[in-house]
Amino acid sequence: MQWIADIWGALPEPLQDPVALAVPFFLVLLGLEALAARLLEDERPLEERRDARGRALPLPGGYSRRDALTSLSMGGVSIVTLTVWKSAALVLYAVLFAYVAPWQLPVEAWWTWAIAIVGVDFLFYWAHRVAHRVRLVWATHQAHHSSEYFNFSTALRQKWNNSAEIVAWLPLPLLGVPPALVFFGFSVSLVYQFFLHTERVDKLWRPLELVLNTPSHHRVHHGTDPEYLDRNYGGMLIVWDRLFGSFQPELHRPTYGLTKPVGTYRIVRLQTHEYAAILRDVRSAPTLRERLGYVFGPPGWRPDLHRAGAAAGDAHPL
């Protein structure tokens, strides 16, 4: 498959791995944000800095050393796991591109690059939406949402199982997009989304907020507040959420994390606890229908809730 190497070699060297190129900038910005968080004093009244149980609430834009180190550790492992997933996907995509696609789009054409980037973003939206509405896929994604802080280190709290995206991108090589450009589009998306994970940026100029995913939109996505749950799935563009009814503007500062906190900094447990919970639920379920519900239903699915929703006609669509 020499042609794969030829396509990849045709890309300018810095573009062959945009994420690797961006890592030093990630770390510099993370350090600057952490320094700003340390220097800026929390002037809120004491009662506003505690929850109902008297526990200290995370400072807006703040950092916890253990939380940030956990995120960095998870991100370091994800570099290895993502490389494995992408290597396996490259073989699959190459076969589809060479032997199944009805045509091969030219790698030198600007519009092929545009199709790749916009196509990856569109398919990312749907993969991301499914990840929040199908529990088995949520198990791969929930680790990214496990921090109760929202800062640049949270952006690096990446999952180790990228199978959902690999499946989601299959239409691109099938439509003749060179595999190298599929991965380039994903890398551009990852770099862009790093900058969304901050509370130091308020809402942007309204025309940008209408089209692009912004820190304000993404803060909503990480919120556990009822009005924020399962909203704003977009990667680079927010137009998909506006088109498909999943958009929610930021009304107040979100409460970050999982609806049921895991309560640990152990990175393996953060990545795997939901798989274990699914297995426990499946083992306890008396019927096949309930077992399937625990695996493929939305997070938090329970037979009694399903029956009550069905009786009320309350469908919960993707």
Distance CA 5, CA 258 (A): 42
For the chain, what are the domain ranges?
1-34+62-318
Over the stretch 99-126, which tens digit does the pLDDT of each residue have?
A: 999 999 999 899 999 999 999 999 999 9
Look at residue 43 and tell me whether its pLDDT is greater than 80.
Answer: no
Q: What is the mean pLDDT of the chain?
A: 85
What amino acid occupies position 213? N
pLDDT greater at residue 312 or residue 161? 161
pLDDT greater at residue 59 or residue 16? 59
Structure tokens at 220: 């909503």
Q: What is the pLDDT of residue 124?
A: 97
Q: Kindly report the pTM of this predicted structure.
A: 0.85
Distance CA 232, CA 226 (A): 14
Could you tell me which of 234, 213, 26, 241 has the C-alpha nearest to residue 204?
213
Q: Give the mean model confidence (pLDDT) for residues 231-256.
A: 97
Secondary structure (3-state) at 223: strand
Q: What is the pLDDT of residue 46?
A: 47
Radius of gyration of the chain (CA): 21
Full 3-state SS string of 11-80:
CCHHHHCHHHHHHHHHHHHHHHHHHHHHHCCCCCCHHHHECCCCCECCCCCCCCHHHHHHHHHHHHHHHH
Sign of the torsion angle spanned by Cα atoms 118, 123, 126, 132: negative
Over the stretch 294-317, which tens digit does the pLDDT of each residue have?
A: 999 999 998 876 555 544 444 444
User: Which helix (H) or strand (E) is 217 found in, with range?
Assistant: helix 215-221
Q: Which residue has the tokens 């589809």?
A: 96
